[in-house]
Amino acid sequence: SLVNLPIDCPIVLIGSKSEATYTSALFDLISEQAQGKVLNVSGKTSLRELINIIAHSKMMISNDTGPMHIAFATHTPTVALFGPSKPEQFAWFLNGIYHYKQIYCSPCVHEFQIPPCKGNNQCMKQIPVSEVLQSVQNVLDNKFEKVLPILPAILDDLEGNPLGLISRP
């Protein structure tokens, strides 16, 4: 089995229709005993249903995707995984924890047409499952610091009036 699911709560796997095949493959890797705690709705929900699932979840684990931003918007506690993008670019962590292991080519998502790893996501593979599971437990126990990433700069005119906010380095 892929994981013993040490967290004792129901789990819902989400994803688009194009992700349903590999989400089902992930579901198949979960032990038969644990599959009773997992519901796979990948490719089976409307956007409204997805928002409702996320908004009513105890917490969410996600990479940097639209559903992660839905979790932030609905104040659903989130463990967010970054690699091809940086948390400072797209994350607003008043309700979660992020994991990011910057390697030489990260962030690549907006820098390369073809990433140096050719989609093998070495940056994501550097995030240990044990760290993610510890963060999940911390979120469930409400033991995490609610902080925003440090923003790189605020631009203002010569009189100190803000002109805009730079969210990329």
pLDDT, one tens digit per residue, over 100-157 is 888 888 888 877 888 888 888 888 999 999 999 889 888 888 887 665 554 444 445 5
The residue ranking higher by pLDDT, 149 or 162, is: 162
Cα–Cα distance list, 83 to 94, 95, 124 (Å): 20, 20, 5
pLDDT of residue 142: 83
Query: Is the pTM for the entire model greater than 0.85?
Result: no
Q: How many other C-beta atoms lie within 10 A of the C-beta of residue 64?
A: 23
pLDDT digits (tens, 9 = 90+) for 57-110: 999 999 989 999 999 889 899 999 998 888 877 656 677 888 988 888 888 887
pLDDT of residue 1: 35
pLDDT of residue 147: 54
CA–CA separation, 17 vs 143, rounded Å?
35
HSE of 27 in the Cβ direction (CA atoms, 13 Å)? 19
Average pLDDT, stretch 5-19? 83
pLDDT of residue 127: 92
pLDDT of residue 71: 93
pLDDT of residue 17: 95
pLDDT of residue 102: 82
